[in-house]
Structure 1
Amino acid sequence: MSERQLSEFADKHAWQIPFDTSPRHLAGPGDARHVTHGLAAAGWTRTSDPLSPRMVMTSPDHRYSLRFTPESGYISAWWHLTSEPFGAEPYWYAAFGELVPAEVLAAVTDALVIPPPAAQPDPWRTLNEAGWARDDSGVARSTDGMCTIEHRPVSELHDTPEWHIETHETNFHELGGRRIWHAHFHQNVSAHLVNAFVTALTGAAPLQRGMHEPTAHYRAVQEPSPLSPQQVVDAHTDRLKAITAHVRAARRRQTKPAPAPVHTRTAQPAARR
């Protein structure tokens, strides 16, 4: 991360009056630099044409990449996160629509660049703790009914199992209406990455959006935030520092030389006189 990049982020947010915006699934995309700055802090670099609106960021080991394709249209996903096969780890991908909150997507990329937990979490448990009820078909719904999460099995429409998240319009006659945004995770995506998305999406704390910044839907509730613009900037900077520290510590552990073996001297028999 360069000082200029951080300064440009600060310049934008220092002059925006922050508004607490909830629920999170209706908060709107926010600032995409929550995602890209986090990856840059972990050592990822832009490998696409700097003058193109299409962006590709690649991890230092070239195993992971994030593509941003705003020309893909309203229906298609704008963000694609992929992993190349490596050793016993298979290929996987995740895709996110235009209006997925950047902070929620950043929770996934943050979880990707730091060491995974010792035990894999259960996204269903996270949903239960957040109060998202599951219906008879196994679909979890937000309290307003506008966001659904399901683990789709193999079917005629789906070649592989996948986690599918969708926010959509509702009316008095039906639960599902026009799609607002969607996200899905391939079956090989680690559970801790899915859980990072679910945890960030279902969090009770509001997201900050600037005055007049578009949300994903008119039913999003906005109130003046107790946070100052500078506090919003400081929180972003502190997060980037934490990511860098985690990544550097992990690299030190990987490159730390193994301790030298201890050689014990074998007792020699006493010389005969």
Structure 2
Amino acid sequence: MPVSDRQLAEFADKHAWRIPFDTSPRHLAGPGDARQVTHGLAAVGWTRTSDLLSAEIVLRSPDGRHSLQFDPQSATSAWWRLRAEATDTKRGWYAEFGELVPAEILSSVTDALVCPPRTGRPDPWQTLSSAGWLLDAHNSAHSPDAKCHIELRPLGDRDTPSWHIETREQGHGHPVGPRIWHAWFDHHTPSHLVSAFVTALADTTPLQRGMYDRTAHYSAVQEPSPLTTQQVVDAHTTRLDALRTQARAARRRKQPATNKALAPSPTTSASPLRR
């Protein structure tokens, strides 16, 4: 399901009339445009398997193993659900994200899923520390404004803990206030996906939001952006092109290994028949 010219035109039309504002910190920027996520997956061959007339969107990977569900009518606080089915050699895993998780941060996870990094993965704690987050001795970190909290939390008696991220109002007489949004990665989620989320979340670069776009909290800071609306649209198109290129390169890297595994053994195929 490649992104069509019509879909790109609709994205451009929506953003053409908006005055972009630099919005920070990222955890308070609001949901943004969900097509940051869905267009990225469609560009690398994910297809929609849900009812086209339904508000719910389910996208599935070409190999059928991974799926992303977006349900704005969910009865729970999780609007986004990302899953991987178990195979004979790989464990399944699950991650979920609340309504107000910025689409750009969620797309960093889906981008890393379809185009895994070839180099070393950054340590989430070092990333957070470098961005000015406060780390404590209990496998947790807190944003400079004390509204976003990340915790590596034990899961029952399992050896491997799971990642919990929450943005909350500051409490009045309590340690924490009402929750604004959450994200959760189970203990089998690949580490490079968690690293991608944390890196995008801690990035101090503002996100672009329109003048009247919904933010996650009134304390989000918005300033006129130096970017034009056309630059915002062009950045989206450039990202989709880059994802296609990276995905093709990843498939080519896998191809020789696959062909080698399927090739007949020289000893078997070349052996002459003996009488």
TM-score between both structures, scaled by the size of structure 1: 0.90
Q: Deviations over 1:88-110 (max 9, x none)?
A: 21010000000000000000000
Which amino acid letter does the alignment assign opposite residue 99 of structure 1? L
| Mapped pair 1:99 → 2:97 | no
Amino acid of the residue matched to residue 42 of structure 2?
A
Distance 1:177 1:28 in 2: 18
**2:245 is paired with a residue of what secondary structure?**
helix
1:123 aligns with: 124
Structure-to-structure mapping, 1:30-45, within 5 angstroms: 30-45=32-47
5+ unaligned residues in a row in structure 1: which ranges? 264-273
| Partner residue in 1 for 2:203 | 203
Superposition misfits of 4+ residues, deviation over 4 angstroms: none
SS at match of 1:165: strand
Amino acid at match of 2:40: G
Find the aligned partners of 1:120 and 1:190 in 2 and give their Cα distance: 11
Partner of 2:150: 149
Contact kept? 2:121, 2:195, Cα under 8 Å = no
Cα distance, 1:171 vs structure 2: 4.1
| Deviation readout 1:90-140 (Å, 9 max, x if unpaired) | 010000000000000000000000134354432112112212111243320
Kept after mapping to 1: 8 A contact 2:16/2:229 = yes
Letter paired with 2:198 = V
Q: Which amino acid aligns with 1:164?
A: H
CA deviations 1:206-245 (Å, max 9, x no partner) are: 0000011110000000000000000000000000000000
Residues in 2 aligned to 1:20 and 1:174: alpha-carbon distance in whole angstroms: 32
Q: Which secondary structure state, in structure 2, belongs to the residue aligned with residue 71 of structure 1?
A: coil
In the alignment, what sits opposite 1:269? none
Residue 29 of structure 2 is aligned to residue 27 of structure 1: yes
* Letter of the 1:193 counterpart: L
- CA shift, 1:159, in A, is 10
Partners in 2 of 1:124 and 1:207 — Cα distance? 22
Number of the residue aligned with 1:88: 89
Inter-partner Cα distance in structure 1 for 2:97 and 2:177: 19
**Alignment partner, residue 222 of structure 2:** 222
Shift of 1:254: 2.2
8 Å Cα contact 1:107-1:200 kept in structure 2: yes
What is the aligned-residue identity percentage? 62
Give the conservation status (yes or no) of the 8 Å contact 2:151–2:163: yes
**Deviation for aligned residue 1:147:** 0.2
Give the distance between the partners of 1:135 and 1:119, measured in 2 at CA: 25
The answer to whether the 8 A contact 1:162-1:186 is kept is yes
The question of whether the paired residues in 2 share the 8 Å contact of 1:145 and 1:175 is answered with no
Distance, in Å, in 1 between the alignment partners of 2:197 and 2:116 is 16
TM-score under structure 2 length normalisation: 0.89
CA distance in 1, matches of 2:133, 2:38: 30
Shift of 1:60: 0.3
Q: Does 1:50 align with 2:52?
A: yes
- Structure 2: give runs of 5+ residues left out of the alignment: 267-275
Structure 2: how far apart are the matches of 1:196 and 1:253? 22
8 A Cα contact 1:38 1:240, kept in partner? yes
CA RMSD of aligned residues (A): 2.2
Find the counterpart in structure 2 of residue 268 from structure 1. none
